[in-house]
Chain A
């Protein structure tokens, strides 16, 4: 199925509901950039709404959708099933709405991961409601594994395999002439771990208007964290510059990273970008922020 061509990009907005990696971090040190774990909302032409990952941020996202109750038709794309990307799912209110349709795709293990908090974890069930008893209609699309996923008439989603211990997918959204790339939990390495190199990610992100990428670590932390599946902000910056993206947003902030430290990281990246003569816009993902692509 081919997407209709759009001359211009149409609406493409990204809202961050959770920007933190590994574990949610409440407290005063994370007020600016946020403490909820990964959840990003992408709003597209034709009222298409895509949620990426179900970290703790999906709970307030669900609350914000209350005015649409009970009719909701959304996509939920899962990058991979580490806890911090799935544990919010039972707290996403729309799963309890009768007329809600949730279309799921992403990493091949995504359905297993989304079921886990319900059925398995606690022996007799974490909730009185079991996964198959949820009121919403949950459909597993299983398209991205085999090829692009077309949303509505105008949006094409492609995936790239992540460099991450448990695998997973990064996503590219193309709508007319607008491109958004979201890659979290990815270790950019020069030595081609898992068969990919940084070049593959550069190619995937080439010319994107917005690249959101995992930048959990400082460069000096990478030695100890080799093989964990995350990147440092300098390598991410370099990748963004090489790919010629319009805007780079650093994502998946380490739990120990305070707001003031993230401010410094952003400042460092901006300085380095300027030194390299690029006009790349750089920021760190902030919970509650909406970016218009």
Chain B
């Protein structure tokens, strides 16, 4: 098949959405379009395989990796960055097929938890009471790293990170940079809290400045937009952002593409379609050319 240009190299970051649903997996017809698997995004740069979060979507990623290996060298080195260890972001890990292959090597990166090491949290998930296999029984090499250095280099890709304020138990946002292009993954944070009256103006400005600095000019920002403006008041304190606040901040940060992520379990496809139409109008009204979409499983973008 003639191809005009190839993207299978280390110059492009291929972003694929494997799970875009927040909180709990939602199988069924009504969520087919945007998907029911919980968060998992892969970023492939040639032979470098980066994974952001291990929700149930990681299971399909593992199956695809296995399937693709027929006839060629199997990908066996994976780098998994966890935004946090809430259940919907780690529950897929025991179902990631490469973990059962002896030649595979997975490094899991996550934030240092005060008083609770990342490895003990992951072990707890595979505690014999709750799951048939223990973490130590996996065939692959698994190393768990609490990130301490500001930057992690994976070949030509640079990964930097920041702790996010306003999510129960904390969460981390990641930025992947290659050749001047940036992908920012900033899910599970309650940006609406910035506008609470209890926060001083100075504090708000400091938080905003920090957020904008990290996400500004991103080629793609993948961010949590779980609630509508009407829903948010009942869900204040739960750690997620409302859609209008996210859109406005993304516009302020002059992000090129905004992928809204972490869809509420109750949000059916038809409703997301409606929100998308309204979101596009909001952007048009502000005269912006930002691309806005609701992330759906099975999309791959080249950055």
Contacts and interface: CB of A to CB of B under 8 A. Distances in A.
A and B touch in the complex (CB under 8 A): yes
Interface in B95-150: 95, 113-116, 121, 124-125, 128-132
Interface in B22-42: 23-29, 31-32, 35-37
A123 B128 contact: no
B86 A27 contact: no
Given A35-B28, A228-B132, A229-B132, A91 B168 contact: no
A91 B24 contact: yes
A165 B132 contact: yes
A128 interface: yes
B87 A24 contact: no
Contacts of B29: 31
B156 interface: no
Given A24-B36, A122-B169, A125-B168, A82 B59 contact: no
A127 B35 CA distance: 23
Contact of A82 (B26, B121, B130): B130
A56 B23 CA distance: 11
Interface string A39-76: 00000000000000000100110010000000000000
Contacts of A83: 91, 125, 130-131
**Which one of B84, B91, B132, B237 has the highest number of Cβ atoms from chain A below 10 Å of its Cβ?**
B132
Interface string B231-260: 000000111000000000000000000000
B226 to A, nearest CB: 14
Contacts of A228: 132
Interface stretch (A113-121, A133-141, A173-181, A231-239): A113-121
Contacts, number: 120
A59 B22 CA distance: 14
A225 to B, nearest CB: 10
A23 B24 contact: no
Q: DSSP majority for the B interface? A: loop
A64 to B, nearest CB: 13
Given A91-B265, A122-B86, A26 B28 contact: yes
A34 interface: yes
B237 to A, nearest CB: 5
B83 interface: no
B177 interface: no
Given A81-B130, A82-B132, A166-B129, A122 B85 contact: yes
Nearest to A20: B27
**Which one of A31, A35, A123 has the highest number of Cβ atoms from chain B below 10 Å of its Cβ?**
A123
Contacts of B23: 91
A245 B62 CA distance: 40
Given A28-B32, A125-B169, A165-B132, A23 B59 contact: yes
B169 A24 contact: no
A103 interface: no
A94 B167 CA distance: 25
A9 interface: no
B132 A123 contact: no
B130 A36 contact: no
Contacts of B24: 24, 56, 59, 87-88, 91
B285 to A, nearest CB: 34
B58 to A, nearest CB: 10
Contacts of A27: 27, 32, 36
Nearest to B167: A124
B132 A26 contact: no
Nearest to A22: B95
Interface string A7-42: 000000000000010111111101100111000000
A4 B55 CA distance: 48
**Which one of B32, B56, B114 has the highest number of Cβ atoms from chain A below 10 Å of its Cβ?**
B56
Interface string B37-67: 1000000000000000000100100000000
A59 B38 CA distance: 15
22 contacts: A23-B25, A24-B36, A26-B27, A26-B36, A35-B25, A56-B24, A81-B129, A82-B131, A82-B132, A83-B130, A83-B131, A87-B24, A109-B129, A113-B129, A113-B130, A121-B87, A122-B169, A123-B85, A123-B113, A124-B170, A126-B168, A128-B237
Q: List the 4 shortest-distance A-B pairs measured between CB atoms, nearest first.
A: A35-B27, A26-B36, A24-B25, A124-B169
